[in-house]
Amino acid sequence: MSVRRFGRCAILSLALLVMMVFLAVRADAQGIDGRMNWKTDWSKRSIDLDELMAGGPPKDGIPSINHPTFVSISEASQWLASKEPVIALAIEGVARAYPLQVMTWHEIAIDEVGGVPVVVTFCPLCYSAVVYDRRVDGQVLTFGVSGMLRHSDLVMFDRQTESLWQQLNGEAIVGDYTGTVLKAVPAQIIAFEQFAQAYPDGSVLSRETGHMRDYGRNPYAGYDNIDERPFLYRGPRDKRLPPMEKVIAFSLEGVDIAYPHSLTRKQRVVNDEVGGVPVVVFHDDGAVSALDQSQISASKEIGSTGVFEARLDGARLTFAYKNGRFVDHETNSAWDVTGLAVSGSHKGRRLRPIPHGDFFSFAWFVFKPKTKLYQAEQ
């Protein structure tokens, strides 16, 4: 195991590093194809099983949050700093925030929001926060952490058939559900204070998870460094970007596209058209990284992002960034990073969100090799 995963020498305590090495060796000794203690149908698969690697902890060694509880924004503010990153999810008028200080230790939360059964996922090694609808062929699935990685990305398993699922793209890769793809639900990583402003009646995932974890501490300190190398990654490298540069990426109407953070942080707004759909990409100030300093609240600011359909009531909107707000040229309404109009004739309206993520580029490119890379107009 390379200590580069942990940001050279200063990232983890020596005891934790030794423990992770021990767990990885033990998992390798048991055999990564997981035939022990699994009911998976290994004969059904779309990948070579050699692509699966032991991540360290065994099956359920990273415990999913199966019965989440929530607290008010006011209560959460007692332990959650204003710029700490949260996964913001809003469905049918119900808004919830899942702090990365909690999700980093659990990676999966099983929930139902606005009547929709969802699985909220976060893979720290790919910085991939993705939410999926858990309904497949009329059955509601529940998920856990397999302990395996593929291309450094979390491999989930469903508890009904123990099929294996790729976290970043929601595809079942081994077992009865092989070839099935979960439906992504729009979500975004923003600062806690931005969530509180946009959804004052929202709730926040509690730290009362039933597990003892050092919430607020980052066990991967130093990993969010553009000069780092991905942990346990053996896939191809796309030379267009450094592997650890973040991209705002999504798929729409059969088109995969990525916008480098190095550009979007400067431009703030990208007006584009993807698959024939007008879209706008927002990159505002806001959230700090969950993988920088050992204490998340002390980490560098990387900003908050949103991707939306750039039209309302059938009319195309184009945006610019002015005085800390996103302003549309057509009505001069001002919008925040969640797609909410906060002033102007559209005040109170929301743009339709498009599922997206802020991924390390290596992770997005390996699963979406035909990705179009956005380049700023000269």
Residue 241 and residue 128 share a domain: no
| Average pLDDT of span 277-295 | 98
Q: How confident is the model at residue 62 (pLDDT cuts 50, 70, 90)?
A: very high
pLDDT of residue 14: 36
The domain that holds 344 is classified in CATH as 2.102.10.10
Give the residue from 84, 107, 124 showing the smallest Cα distance to 220: 124
pLDDT of residue 37: 84
Residue 294 and residue 145 share a domain: no
26 pLDDT higher than 70:
no
- Judge whether 213 lies within some domain: no
pLDDT of residue 376: 74
Q: How far is CA 270 from CA 258, 347, 370, in A?
A: 12, 22, 21
* Cα–Cα distance, 251 to 326 (Å, whole number): 23
- Judge whether 211 lies within some domain: no
18 pLDDT higher than 60:
no
118 pLDDT higher than 90:
yes
Residue 170 and residue 251 share a domain: no
Q: How confident is the model at residue 171 (pLDDT cuts 50, 70, 90)?
A: very high
CB-based contacts of 14: which residues, under 8 Å, 6+ apart? none
Residue 256 and residue 334 share a domain: yes
The tally of domains found in the chain comes to 2
pLDDT of residue 131: 98
- Judge whether 153 lies within some domain: yes
Residue 189 and residue 283 share a domain: no
pTM, rounded to two decimals: 0.92
Residue 244 and residue 200 share a domain: no
- Judge whether 160 lies within some domain: yes
* Cα–Cα distance, 18 to 35 (Å, whole number): 26
- Judge whether 223 lies within some domain: no
- Determine the length of the chain: 378
Please tell me which residue, 324 or 89, carries the higher pLDDT value: 89
- Judge whether 219 lies within some domain: no
- Tell me which residue range forms the domain holding 319: 231-373
- Judge whether 209 lies within some domain: no
Q: What are the two backbone dihedrals, phi and then psi, of residue 119, each rounded to the nearest 5 degrees?
A: -120, 120
pLDDT of residue 136: 98
- Judge whether 84 lies within some domain: yes
Q: What is the pLDDT of residues 329-369, one digit of tens each?
A: 999 999 999 999 999 999 999 999 999 999 999 999 999 99
Q: What is the pLDDT of residues 199-236, one digit of tens each?
A: 999 999 999 999 999 999 999 999 999 999 999 999 99
